[in-house]
Structure 1
């Protein structure tokens, strides 16, 4: 019988992000999924409060970090992966198609010449279907593009971590209008997740709850197939694409997309400092559409 993972969530109310620690309780080995580095846009200051909550939990539970897993290069928060690696170890991993995302955003930001869009900023690039372990827990990496070209989901026993591909049933699905995104591809990726057994637990990376509901982050394949407002059973690819493209055309650019992508394509590393010892983020003027990326 496969081992069961112990899963502990960490909700960040500022970015509506949920990070996770996945632990094999027998070996005390763990992985961190989608950690957050706090960032105050007004002052330009980073902060490690969210990541330090994870560190405190790791110490309390006497867990050793093997992996720090990114589901994709996030546009709505900065990654705390590098900070957590410096404090607790582990290998930072992301899907191998991150190279496509890096190449796109290197051009958009005109990043420094020695920034190479080859994925070398990460410790390991995962292929679709690749299997690896957290202690004795087997993990399968699933390529689920559409939101971005590089999105990965992580299947651990009866649990799947879906990043931004799916949200809670009353919220729906990710947008597909970022560079390299595609609504047709997103639909097919979602159906790949929804083809898992109905009792598979689904852990989302964000929750944007309707008024009156507290944030939640765990659902199931069966609940998504029956109730997801965008992709429940019976909604065709054509219907989904029409809805998604119309909806995406109305969405604003995420608040933190400009700083977050510059950090997240570097696996959570801040840009290299200038000659004065200060690191700077770049804001490309008049390049992104007014209402969306």
Structure 2
């Protein structure tokens, strides 16, 4: 995907359905990495960097210099490899400034250490709506597109926009809006900030969950979304979208990796502090996200206390 100055290279992670990107200004060699994945095997608790290392090798082979490591939001379906990329390639780790709201909400859920502050200081840069991020001869314009989470950002550059989880491919639809701070009405209006861009604007999604018989894909357009998106094509108004999104979200299970991923991702991809034994642990808060009517924790504890 190359023109005279801009190159976009996707990296699809089949385990999580995530698409990471390398964006480069070929003329200057300035590059950005968007939504990098750190591999995590939940059954064994094993971390590895195979996915991120492919991306690192790609950048190194071309002699590019990473200026930015951009997160579209604090992902709930994979751990961020931002710190691994930063260690090997440099660059500033950036996310939307509203990450503070996400940190505040999840700090309570995970009962983080007292030294963790929900002020965004874990990141190198907090991006504001409308801010322009320089990248060689290019510049990315940040668009605040909340609804999936309060902190979602899209990044527009030339004729392309990286939309994170706000939109999926047209035959998949849109992101869920039932995480803490999410809101279906807000999501609808955020999506339409994107859909009023010129029709030929290329849209690069962060995830693909292809229907049976279709190979994974990640590039579409404003025109295709307005004509064919299952959830927000032209003619679907806000009320209909909110009704659909709310009903659909009620049927969705939590992402497999939400518990380990969010507590790492709101730290800019840093692991929690090591315990006294030198080992790093992630927390599994009981009944924090379940949608079923679970037994109250106090009753559960009493029922399982030896007498």
State the TM-score bracket (shorter-chain normalisation): over 0.9
- TM-score by length of structure 2 reads 0.93
1:95 aligns with 2:96: yes
Cα separation, 2, equivalents of 1:3 and 1:229: 34
**Cross-structure match for 1:120:** 121
Change (3 A) 1:224 1:39: same
Cα separation, 2, equivalents of 1:106 and 1:177: 18
Per-residue deviation at 1:289? 2.3
**Cross-structure match for 1:9:** 10
Cα separation, 2, equivalents of 1:4 and 1:96: 29
Contact 1:251 1:291 in 2 (8 A): no
Cα separation, 1, equivalents of 2:215 and 2:33: 24
Aligned with 2:104: secondary structure? helix
Per-residue deviation at 1:137? 0.4
Count of residue pairs brought into register by the alignment:
291
Contact 2:123 2:268 in 1 (8 A): yes
Per-residue deviation at 1:231? 0.1
Structure 2 matches for 1:145-156, cutoff 5 A? 145-156=146-157
Aligned with 1:11: secondary structure? strand
Cα separation, 2, equivalents of 1:124 and 1:45: 29
1:45 aligns with 2:84: no
Q: Provide, for residues 135-161 of structure 1, a one-character-per-residue CA deviation record: whole Å limited to 9, x for no partner.
A: 110110000000000000000100000
Cα separation, 1, equivalents of 2:137 and 2:31: 10
Contact 1:99 1:118 in 2 (8 A): yes
Contact 2:68 2:94 in 1 (8 A): yes
Q: Provide, for residues 169-189 of structure 1, a one-character-per-residue CA deviation record: whole Å limited to 9, x for no partner.
A: 000000000000000000000
Contact 1:72 1:148 in 2 (8 A): yes
Cα separation, 1, equivalents of 2:7 and 2:24: 5
**Cross-structure match for 2:261:** 260
Per-residue deviation at 1:81? 0.2
**Cross-structure match for 1:208:** 209
Structure 2 matches for 1:22-37, cutoff 5 A? 22-37=23-38
Higher gyration radius (CA): 2
Cα separation, 2, equivalents of 1:287 and 1:85: 32
Per-residue deviation at 1:291? 6.2
Contact 1:252 1:291 in 2 (8 A): no
Once superposed, which parts of structure 1, at least 4 consecutive aligned residues long, lie more than 4 Å away?
Answer: none
Structure 2: tracts of 5 or more residues without a match: 294-307
1:133 aligns with 2:146: no
Structure 1: tracts of 5 or more residues without a match: none
**Cross-structure match for 2:301:** none
Q: CA RMSD in A?
A: 1.2
Contact 2:5 2:27 in 1 (8 A): no
Structure 2 matches for 1:164-203, cutoff 5 A? 164-203=165-204
